[in-house]
Structure 1
Amino acid sequence: MDDRQVEQILQNPKFKEMVKRKSTLSWTLTIIMLVVYVGFMLLVGYNKEFLMTSLSGGVTTIGMPLGLSIIVLSFLLCGVYSYIANNKLDVLNEEAMREVEAITHEKGQH
């Protein structure tokens, strides 16, 4: 692949859209996870009493389900990313790849 082909691929509207969507999705999910995790760490650092409060008068505290929910959230966000990537971004990727193949075959014909 020569520089002209690479430039055509990089300027391809479907390729640009795919990169933009993937980047937006990745950053959005990353920010969600960071805000939740940092928020939990701030609670641990500055409001331990709240996290040590018993839910039902027993040994289970508020901190336990909150910590567990952060782990569950990370799995859910991975699932969201996988679902969107497989159902939306892969379609754009396939369209872009078809156009890339057309560009490469075009170069081979000359």
Structure 2
Amino acid sequence: MNQPLQTPHEILESPDFKRLVKKRWSVSLVLTCTMLIVYFGFLLLVAFNKQVLATRIGEYTTLAIPIGLGIILFAWVLTGIYVFWANNHYDTAVENLKNKIS
């Protein structure tokens, strides 16, 4: 078993802490980029092809309404993915690091 970490500097320089920070950044970056791609895709569609969004799918509704709602729901799904990851992986790793501190 590893020797307990003593100082904040040892914790910050430990490979486990660096791996945890790198993983958190990776997950956050992937989810953020995914959301930005979807959002800016919608903005580009609004800017360059409004006719698609103006397509009627009912008597009173255009295609823009379900696409906009879909983007909102997509953001919720991404949030749920992050919360699931944090609860099942990140929090466990943080607890393991805490246990290494004497």
Query: Partner of 1:40 in structure 2?
Result: 42
* Residue of structure 2 equivalent to 1:85: 86
Letter in 2 for 1:30: T
Q: Specify the SS of the correspondent of 1:54.
A: coil
Partner of 2:15: 13
Q: Which has the higher contact order (CA 8 A, sep 6+)?
A: 2
Once residues 14 and 76 of structure 1 are traced to their aligned partners in structure 2, the CA distance between those partners, rounded to angstroms, is: 29
- Give RMSD over aligned pairs: 1.3
Structure 1 segments, 4+ long, off by >2 Å, are none
Aligned to 1:60: 61
Shift, 1:36, TM fit: 0.3
Gaps of 5+ in 2: 1-5
Over the matched positions of the two proteins, sequence identity in percent amounts to 39
Considering fraction of residues, name the structure with more helix.
1
User: TM-score w.r.t. structure 1 length?
Assistant: 0.82
Highest CA radius of gyration, 1 or 2?
A: 1
Q: What SS class does the counterpart of residue 89 from structure 1 fall into? A: helix
Give the distance between the partners of 1:12 and 1:98, measured in 2 at CA.
14
The alignment's TM-score, normalised by the length of structure 2, stands at 0.88
The separation in 1 between residues aligned to 2:93 and 2:61, in whole angstroms, is 47
Distance 2:77 2:95 in 1: 26
Give me the whole-angstrom Cα distance separating, in 2, the residues matched to 1:59 and 1:53. Answer: 11
Gaps of 5+ in 1: 103-110
Q: Output the amino acid matched with 1:67.
A: G
